[in-house]
Chains A and B, each alone.
Chain A
Amino acid sequence: MRMFLLLLICASLFAYDSLLLRAQASMFPKIILLDKNIKSKMIDDVVSLAVVYEKNEFKQAKIFKDMIEKNYNNKLGKYKLSVNLINIKKFSDSDNSSSYYFFNTNGIDKKRVIEHAVKRKRICFSYDYKNFKDNTLISLFLKEKTYIYINKSVIGEYNIKFIPTFYKIAKVI
């Protein structure tokens, strides 16, 4: 029975919910701007979101990037918005993205990217809040209502100061 449940849990890692993706594509870029120090994380007034994918996630990553670009037309408030696809195997330690997004990838490569982001106080979003165990910071969940979840266990490590009202609409878990 335990093996069966384990199989289910593993298998579930590969399903993507289009409504959840759309909601994330709409909300996550706005959350980036709620970082009080976001200016210091931009290059040439460009806010960048790196969608980090594994080989089998490329199609989904492209869809997600297209969703964001369609929503924002490369403009986020008074700044430019750039969405970049990064193959996790080719991730460079010199990457200077303003924020990162992960699907359900896991493993050593993801750990390396997240450590890089935490060190630079960059937000790491995850498709599924269950991946908070990998130290991603923010996710979204559709239940009877829609919830923005903040990962309580790593909020200190990231040391990102959000504007106070963000904490009123998000839920720290």
Chain B
Amino acid sequence: MIKILLLISSLVTILFADTVEDDFIKDLQDDLETYSQIATDTKQNVDYMPYIVSVLKHDELSSLGVLSLGEALSLVPGVDMSIGMVGVKNPIFRGSNPFAVGQSKLIIDGVVVNDQMFGAYNQYLDMPVDIIHRIEIVRGPGSLQNDVNAYAGSIHVITRANRDDGDEKENVLFTSFGSDNYRMGGFISSYEDGEVEINSDLFYQEHDKSTASGPDRFGTVLDAQQWLEHYALGLSVTYKGLYLKGHFNKNTAGVSTGQAFSLSEDSSDSVDAENSILKFGYKFNIDAGVEAELSFGSLYERRELQNKVMPDGASIIIQNTIPVIFPKGYYSVFDYAEQTYDEALDIKISSIKNHNVSFGIKLSQSYLENNIASHSTDGLKSFFQVVDILSNDSRKHTSLYVDDLINIDEKTSIQLGLKFDRYNDVDDQFSPRFAIVHRYDEDNIYKFMYTHSYREPSWREQYLSGTHYFSADPNVEEEKVEAYEASYIRKFGIDSDIKVNLFYLENRGQIHSQNASNTFTNDGNHELHGLELELKTSLSDKDQIYMNYSYVDGSNVADTLANSSKNIAKAYYIYNIKDNINISSIIKYVGDKERTEEDTRDKVDDYLTVDFTLGYLYKRYDLKMTASVKNLFDENYYLPAPEGTYDDDFLQDGRSFLFRLSKRF
């Protein structure tokens, strides 16, 4: 009897032991899946995935003294800036059509913020790095979100309030001040109670920058007013699978180099932009390994502009013969607002062995809410030509996508994707994608990607009506691109590697207005080809070095590589003198730039800028301070202006100083 009891006891012990071990095995399996998912979501393992992505992280950007999203983008290989109306900056990827706005998409915490009017997102370029957790930049049309079709590139910003890397959320106070009376302050706040999580960020910034400009197209020489008053609020609330997130952004700024590329002496001129996004959704599991997300979004944007677009005494010729003089100049006033609603259902299936399938549908409806252009020739006392800015007031869009990332084995993965888009005012679009990544071993990775994509015309390009500097063509068609990309990555450790990317882009129907009537039209087919080289490593245990070089050749509009540099090189170096003191430097070289064929001006000169930053962490209070000098050697450099506007181009910022403080709680 005792033997039997002992036997039973032993069996129970063994069974219990097995159960405990099985629990640990199951925990380990869960961990493997969890960390794989985090690595994929945060692009930690992106070198092994079928994309060409640059990931910029907060700590790195902060140590480098980088102030804003726009400044951060300038570190990415092959990315340059162009300048459009009212001095608005627009990132250019790989030299692709610098006259088009919207060839790249900006996604903030999973929500596309490009507007319908211009395809623009410029008001977010001033977003301070203090609220950014990381920036994922895809060069080329392959977006990291299957429901988003980028054209030349996509930028995904993950804010610290919405960080998804599994680390604890933060409470941070931050402030900056510097040249041109720059002042900025804000906070990030997090609250968690059981399954309820509330995260928010808020900032306000202002400066009174102005830049010597001109002569403009009327021969005026003045300081372009680039002052800024900007505040923004981000909010994220989650409860179980439910979430609500939003960003509310308002900035008022000087009109800089003008709506119609002319300088204004009226100090009351301004451009007022309000942009808000809201997304409400529910994530739920349909079955083991089958996740669904139902979401509803809203994007509202309003732009109000007052701009004296012709100086006192300016004249125009009407009907080819009759001169009309404006003794008190000519004002344009715009009040424009658009609203987009969208509804989406996304399904992800990870339960099929070696497949990660996602598919979904998204419906969106965009409407004009305000649409008024008015003009004044008596100093804003009375208005005439009070007309609609656009000849169309809505766009409806249905999008379907399916994507499968197939891990054939440990060495090879392929991605197959197809997106279908139907608009009420643009032709149906099929956008296929094929990508293969071969991990020869952990240190040698080869990738090849083919993507077809398109960019639908913005409302400005298609429907602008009335008399303005630009004109639209209602028959303008979408831009299309066939992108072939190859990449080789040689890793020398977890954070040290060399990357070589080759690309060939066939662009069709590029939309631009570089013609006599400034009318947006499709202009032929062009090809771009080039390469990007990147090196990231450390020379000791105290430093970090990053260098990239990009080369592009071919043509973007007409038969030239207009307004884009063939050669761009960027580098930064961070040296930790002690564990709480570091110095860093950023060096950027942008080669000279050709003009359009009709533009007889000399090339835009090349330039080199150097930034220097000293950082100090006061450990006792977790207070981080940085002092930066930007454009240390006060290099005079210019970004190109369209022909017939500013003959001497747009002068950029000289030497400036910036001090920043941030404290974590």
Which residues of A are at the interface with B, using a C-beta cutoff of 8 A?
5, 7-9, 11-20, 22-23, 26-27, 30-31, 33-34, 56, 59, 77-78, 128-130, 141-148, 163, 165-166, 169, 171
Contact = CB atoms under 8 A, between A and B. Distances in A.
A125 B493 CA distance: 17
Contacts of A128: 493-494
Nearest to A38: B21
Given A77-B20, A163-B25, A146 B36 contact: yes
A169 B29 contact: yes
A137 to B, nearest CB: 16
Contacts of A14: 538, 540-541
Nearest to B24: A30
A165 B439 contact: no
A158 B32 CA distance: 24
Given A143-B45, A144-B407, A165 B35 contact: no
B539 interface: yes
A146 B538 contact: no
Given A59-B579, A165-B25, A15 B493 contact: yes
Interface string B12-27: 0000001011111101
Listed from nearest, the 4 A-B pairs whose CB atoms lie closest are: A12-B493, A15-B495, A12-B496, A14-B541
Given A8-B496, A11-B496, 11 more contacts: A7-B539, A8-B492, A8-B493, A13-B493, A19-B44, A27-B28, A33-B20, A78-B20, A142-B36, A143-B439, A146-B33
B413 interface: yes
B541 A20 contact: no
B165 interface: yes
B316 interface: no
Dominant SS at the A interface?
helix
A129 B443 CA distance: 12
Interface of B: 18, 20-25, 27-29, 31-33, 35-36, 38-40, 42, 44-45, 48-49, 165-167, 407, 410, 413, 437, 439, 442, 492-496, 498, 537-541, 579
A33 B21 contact: yes
A12 B538 contact: yes
A82 B132 CA distance: 37
A33 B24 contact: yes
Interface centre among B25, B165, B167, B540 (most CB of A within 10 A): B25
Contacts of A30: 24, 27-28, 31
* Most chain B beta carbons < 10 A, residue from A18, A23, A33: A23
A23 B407 contact: no
Contacts of A19: 35, 38-39, 42, 44, 165
Nearest to B541: A14
Interface of chain B, helix or strand or loop or mixed?
A: mixed
Contact of B21 (A27, A34, A142): A34
B496 A146 contact: no
Given A8-B492, A8-B496, A11-B496, A142 B25 contact: no
B351 to A, nearest CB: 15
Given A13-B493, A17-B494, A144 B45 contact: yes
Contacts of A11: 492-493, 496, 537-540
A142 B439 CA distance: 13
A129 to B, nearest CB: 8
16 contacts: A8-B537, A11-B493, A11-B540, A19-B38, A19-B42, A20-B494, A23-B31, A26-B31, A27-B28, A27-B32, A141-B442, A144-B48, A145-B407, A146-B31, A146-B35, A165-B22
Contacts of B25: 34, 163, 165-166, 169
Contacts of B32: 27, 145-148, 169
A146 B59 CA distance: 25
B404 to A, nearest CB: 14
User: Which of A16, A17, A30, A128: most chain B CB closer than 10 A?
Assistant: A30
B439 A22 contact: no
Contacts of B437: 144
Nearest to A39: B17
Contacts of A20: 494
Interface centre among B18, B39, B495 (most CB of A within 10 A): B39
A12 B28 contact: no
Contacts of A147: 32, 410
Contacts of A34: 21, 24-25
B408 to A, nearest CB: 11
Contacts of B42: 19
Contact of B495 (A9, A17, A145): A17
A171 B439 CA distance: 16
A78 B17 CA distance: 10
A5 B496 CA distance: 11
Nearest to B579: A59
B407, B410, B579: most-surrounded residue (chain A CB, <10 A): B410
Nearest to B494: A17
A22 B165 CA distance: 11
A15 B28 contact: no
Nearest to A7: B539
Nearest to B32: A146
Nearest to A170: B28
A146 B493 CA distance: 16
Contacts of A33: 20-21, 24
Given A8-B537, A19-B35, A27-B31, A143 B442 contact: yes
Given A11-B540, A27-B31, A163 B494 contact: no
A130 B493 CA distance: 9
